[in-house]
Amino acid sequence: MPSVNTRRIGALHVSVAGIGCNNFGRRVDAEGTAKVVHAALDAGINFFDTADTYGGTKSEEFLAAALGRKRKDVFIATKFGSEIDENRKGARPEYVKAAAEDSLRRLRTDRIDLYQLHKPDPTVPIADTLGALDELVKEGKVREIGCSNFTVEMLHEADLAVKRRSARFVSVQNEYSLLHRAPERDMLPECAARDMAFLPYFPLANGLLTGKYRKGETAPPGSRIASGWNEKLLTEETLTKVENLIAFAEQRGHTLLELAFSWLHSRAAVASIIAGATNPGQVRANAAAVEWAIPESDLEEISRLSSSPREY
């Protein structure tokens, strides 16, 4: 495996470019998953982020089959809490343990490197959920625990609920990109203060930061937005920002994709950029995209071009 830059999630040292596995079992079949995973390994990527709900539970299975004996060389993050069916959802302690066992079986492994609560469960005290996660850590079935879609206030509540010498969240996974900068207001400073890793999902803003959606042009056939999925993202304001960012990157000999990844890489709290991929070419492009060390003066200009953070 090639030598690559790594950053820390608790005790895990993960590649700065990771793979989001939400396409496995949904847009990519088992054979396609194997091609993506093998390309990632060849590029030095050692971090794969999935969830029990991805691909109708097939993502974990396809990832395990693709990794095979390479499992020992990588870090696997998965999630629980989103609804699989009426009986499999939420963060009740008994379900946390059952969900972990199911993921361990689908992943064909004896441990989950990073186990994440996919979304808050307001019906369950966070102390109860943390207690179940701590037991999994003490049993050796989970190495580190994290959360997703949390607010700073929720992190504070969780921190207060952690018992002495018990596992605590080492990471938070929220949406963050050049076109969605809300985490800068409070979450990134909070992560820095707590020495927590931040994992940005939708780092390419649902494809808007790949350069395939251009102002005044029809969305490419077969793209998710062209099919009507989140078409509301194609606003005049957003597409103007995209055009300005494309021009900025091209003036410096780079692509918009490279700008999107390298800008996230410049954020110290960001541990790994977990972009999804449906083919090996995308994997190789994503892995190479973090290599641009953007000068501080350019970061200020990028901030201006992508200002006015907005919720999608």
Q: How far is 197 from 294, CA to CA, in rounded Å?
A: 21
Of 126, 50, 48, nearest in space to 82 by CA: 50
State how beta strands 17-20 and 75-80 pair. Answer: unpaired
Is 213 a catalytic site residue? no
Among the listed ranges 50-54, 83-87, 149-153, 213-217, which one has the minimum average pLDDT value? 213-217
Domain boundaries, the chain: 6-210+264-296
Cα dihedral angle (205, 209, 210, 211), rounded to 10 degrees?
A: 140
Mean pLDDT of the chain: 93
Give the model's confidence band at 308: pLDDT under 50 very low, under 70 low, under 90 confident, else very high: low
Q: Does domain 6-210+264-296 have CATH number 3.40.50.720?
A: no
Q: Tokens standing for 53?
A: 């709900």
pLDDT given for residue 217 in this prediction: 72
pLDDT at 311 over 60: no
pLDDT of residue 234: 77
pLDDT, position 236: 86
Q: What predicted TM-score, i.e. pTM, was given to this entire model? A: 0.93
Q: Both tokens of residue 225?
A: 């937005």
Q: 36-53 as b/e, with b when 16 or more CB fall inside 10 Å?
A: bbbbbbebbbbbbbbbbb
Task: Check 54, 95, 115, 213 and give the catalytic one.
Answer: 54
140-151: pLDDT as tens digits? 999 999 999 999
| CA–CA gap between residue 220 and residue 212 (Å, rounded) | 7
